[in-house]
A = this chain, B = another copy of it.
Amino acid sequence: MESYMEMLASHAKSAAAEAARLGTSDKNRGLLTVADELIAQQEIILEENEKDLKAARAKKMKQSMIDRLALSEKRIADMAEGLRQIASLEDPIGEVLYMKTRPNGLRIGQKRVPLGVVGIIYESRPNVTADAFGLCFKTGNAVILRGGSDAIHSNQAIVRTIKAGLRKERLSQDMVVLVEDTSREAVNAMMKMHGMIDVLIPRGGAGLIANVVENSTVPVIETGTGNCHVYVDADADIRMAADIIENAKTQRLGVCNACESLVIHGDIASEALPVITAKLKKHDVEIRGDERARAICEEIIPASDEDWGTEYLDAIISVKIVDSIDEAIAHINRYNTGHSESIITESYANALKFQDEIDAAAVYVNASTRFTDGFEFGFGAEIGISTQKLHARGPMGLEALTTTKYIIFGNGQIRK
């Protein structure tokens, strides 16, 4: 297994050196040709996808999972359109962030360069395959893709199509490498390839991410899990609070930036909670609360301590009543996953306090947590949402797939 993965990684590493040398127009041409190729090959891709779907149905996969796995002409067109959009984005590679001349005459600059080989470990969504390739290719990286076994035929077909597009442009086909061995051993080997793979980005559920964080010797960017809170301050506009909570909880249930827990100031709870509860009940959201919340609204069922730390990804929300903004901040900092948190308030001081003291990638005042997203933030693309603090935090656009290099121009300087 190690030798299989080493072979794949060494192919990717050679291709990465070529990718790093490509100019922006070469990369954009490659992306557009691959996009065309996806459309041209859509019948074959759909046939292969059908094999995965058949296997999924045979093993009685949940319908929501089958929906994620299923491709259609529309989804393939969206994949192609995604690549065209990536082509239209500004290329971050080669930008010199600054250059200064030191007293000894050395000119020292910092330049943005590709990471090298990016590894993506993901689950059953085959559209990630084209998307991850596009983002990595635009940033001059080679990518090693390890998708879930449920999507293997779809992924093979998509990667073959990408390679066909690269071949047409006389580019190395190893700029995208698919790990076709979908065993756990392959993932384990991939996680130990420190020095061969420059970064691993797990995209998927909490179990997948925890496994990679626990076992990888390759640097990891943690993505995704979001136990996001909305805090309704004593000074909140109750109608605004209810609208934002309805949106943050119900606009899409299974996403990491959905709201999973409410924290409400005691001074406003008896007035606000019935309004909020009514909104949520229209969407059949189950509400689990502490005793004080339940004393206000009888449709609220009891929350256990476990609820405070749970990312439901479902039509469930928890509610806690607090007596101060400090108690709210302490509660959120204890249970959040560093993703997105929002305060609803008309108080200037509390808005700033919440933003200063909450420890999360995105801290909102008077807005829905659902905006934590590369497109909504205006990055034009997203490789995931980092919930860690190193390298990238929050929605990751193209820059998160780059590093820097110091470039130093001298004329014979030696150190005294």
Contacts and interface: CB of A to CB of B under 8 A. Distances in A.
Nearest to A257: B415
Copies in the complex: 2
B389 A406 contact: no
A362 to B, nearest CB: 4
Interface in A240-284: 240, 243-244, 246-248, 251
Given A367-B410, A407-B363, A378 B243 contact: no
A371 B104 CA distance: 11
A390 interface: yes
Contacts of A108: 377-378
B21 A389 contact: no
A100 B379 CA distance: 12
B102 A364 contact: no
Per DSSP, chain A at the interface is mixed
Given A361-B406, A406-B394, A370 B414 contact: yes
Contacts of A247: 414-415
A407 B356 CA distance: 9
Contact of A410 (B365, B377, B404): B365
A229 to B, nearest CB: 14
Nearest to A403: B389
B116 A389 contact: yes
Contacts of A390: 115, 198-199, 219, 221, 390-391, 403
A388 interface: yes
Contacts of A32: none
A406 B362 contact: yes
5 tightest A-B CB contacts, nearest first: A367-B410, A247-B414, A389-B403, A370-B415, A391-B391
Given A106-B367, A194-B213, 20 more contacts: A17-B357, A20-B357, A194-B214, A199-B389, A199-B390, A213-B217, A214-B217, A219-B390, A247-B414, A251-B414, A351-B409, A362-B408, A363-B408, A364-B410, A365-B409, A366-B410, A367-B411, A368-B413, A370-B414, A390-B403
